[in-house]
Amino acid sequence: MAFDVAADSYARFMGRYSEPLADRLVEIAGVRAGQRAVDVGCGPGVLTSRLVERLGPDNVDAIDPSPSFVAAARERCPGVDIRYGRAEALPFADVAYDVVLANLVVHFMSDPVQGLQEMGRVARAEGVVAATVWNHATATGPLSTFWQAAKDLDPDAADEATLPGTGEGDLGTLAREAGLQDVVEGTITVTVPYSSFEEWWEPYTLGVGPAGDHVRQLDEAARAELRKHCRERLPTGPFTVEATAWSVLARPPA
């Protein structure tokens, strides 16, 4: 899946949404001075930077499976221990953190239950494990317009609605299967402005994630048809996109 891309491409594609979502996740997780935190699947460092603002670099660790994202996160968050690796095998000690967060990551884990188990393993007894996943299943995620247009043209297009955790209740179920306790499910909605259709469309051509993969595999005519179909679904002038993510807050296993 296309996440080994330049950090700037990811920022232009998803950063508009992940930045405000990271702000909200830090709030609902109750991150406060004196805690230690780890950002699992940190990407180019969006959430990591928020944790640093509250806790300082010495109290924040992070990990990501994309070398380009690890490099970008290290540049964005100097002094933070940012490692290359997978959520399913975290290279961190047991009960090491007060806050263990994964923002827009669980649905891309190769084994979400194992990844959440690992998050629980590194959390302290009274710590918080929290995660978010876009609500792709009921067409209220940030990419809903794109995937609706893509499936109108190709009903077999592999959208993101089948990814783990994207349906109602799915993220909570995964957390419970991972042995996490006191699981509380919720939603977070962010609103993102666009000045034009072109500003909305261009990031889809950068090859980021499943949507970027889909655009890249189309020939020129099919790509133009998809662009036209998307444009017909969106306003001609400035507009906003509301995007909703599922969230879970939990405690580690007893």
pLDDT digits (tens, 9 = 90+) for 15-24: 999 999 999 9
Per-residue pLDDT band at 4 (split at 50, 70, 90): low
In this structure, what CATH number is given to the domain that contains residue 99?
3.40.50.150
- Cβ 205 vs Cβ 96: under 8 Å: no
Radius of gyration of the chain (CA): 18
Whether residue 64 has pLDDT greater than 60: yes
Number of domain units in the chain:
1
Domain that holds residue 53: 7-141+159-194+239-251
What value does the mean pLDDT take over residues 70-83? 97
Quick check: is 84 in a domain? yes
What value does the mean pLDDT take over residues 65-74? 94
Quick check: is 66 in a domain? yes
- Cβ 208 vs Cβ 9: under 8 Å: yes
Quick check: is 214 in a domain? no
Q: How far apart are CA 39 and CA 27, in angstroms?
A: 15
Quick check: is 201 in a domain? no
Quick check: is 224 in a domain? no
**The model's pTM:** 0.93
Whether residue 156 has pLDDT greater than 80: yes
